[in-house]
Amino acid sequence: MDISNKIKQFKKTGIEIFPDILDKNTCKSHVSELEKILELRKSKGDYVGDQKNLVLYNFFEENLNLSSLITLPLINEIMESLIDEDYVLISNQAKNRTNSQHFNVNNKSNGIGWHTDGRFVGKDQLKPSLCYTVIIALEDFTEHNGSTRYIIKSHNKNYRPKRNKNYDFSTLEMSAGSIAIMDTSLWHTAGPPSKKSRWSVFNMYGPWFVKPYFRYYDMFEEKKIMKFSRLLHKLLHFGSNPPLNQNERLATLKRVGL
């Protein structure tokens, strides 16, 4: 696979697919683990999205083995190329865009309606984009099971789309085990839910100085942190948490000791 050329193509279109990165058995195993976490969180009354869009933020919190879905070598290579070696994880969530009327939740989920995940200052979107989203298909993405819809090259625009407008769009279609990288400035929306399962993982990465969605350093006990790989330790901002004050250190980013 010529990753360099695919990244060049990605910069032009705002989205690019890398097919068959995970084997089918691995995908099935991850889906099984996510289903277990879903049931556990439901039983505890934790946030799990809504009936049309199941969402598991920080899905590796209960099963550290699932952290492999944010530290894949291909992702690391792409992000080091697009950002630099100090890139970090901004947010992560496993999603299943399916009708799940068999249980009741009172939450709302995100990603519905045309939007961009890019960063705005005033009314202008920052260019080039600070962050990038990686979508991992653990089950097939098709036009019939709520696959992401997007407007090609819209990442070049610097304003927000109208949330409920009828735009001409393309549909993200890829087989289980494939990965798509998407510019966060690209206009996109979730497709309509179906009765068919469509588990996937959405990871957002950015430079070390971008604030994460969650306080990862407070989320995990020390004994679990000790099991983190060097890469996971960096991705979860343990090397870029601000110091307490000037007496601890002056630089926020610290590579030594990671």
Query: How is 88-141 classified by DSSP, letter by letter?
Result: EEEEEEEEE-B--TTS------S--SSB--S-EETTEEPSS-S-EEEEEESS-B
Give residue 101's pLDDT: 63
- Specify the pLDDT at position 51: 86
Counting as low any pLDDT under 50, the low residues of the chain are: 258
pLDDT of residue 102: 54
Q: What is the pLDDT of residue 187?
A: 97
| pLDDT score of 109 | 59
Give the CATH superfamily of 3-212.
q2cbj1_9rhob like domain (2.60.120.620)
- pLDDT at residue 256, rounded to an integer: 57
Reported pTM:
0.94
Q: Could you give phi then psi for residue 15, rounded to 5 degrees?
A: -160, 145
**Rounded Cα gap, residues 146 and 137, in angstroms:** 12
Provide, rounded to the nearest whole percent, the portion of the chain with pLDDT above 90: 86
Residues 216-247 have pLDDT tens digits of 999 999 999 999 999 999 999 999 999 999 99
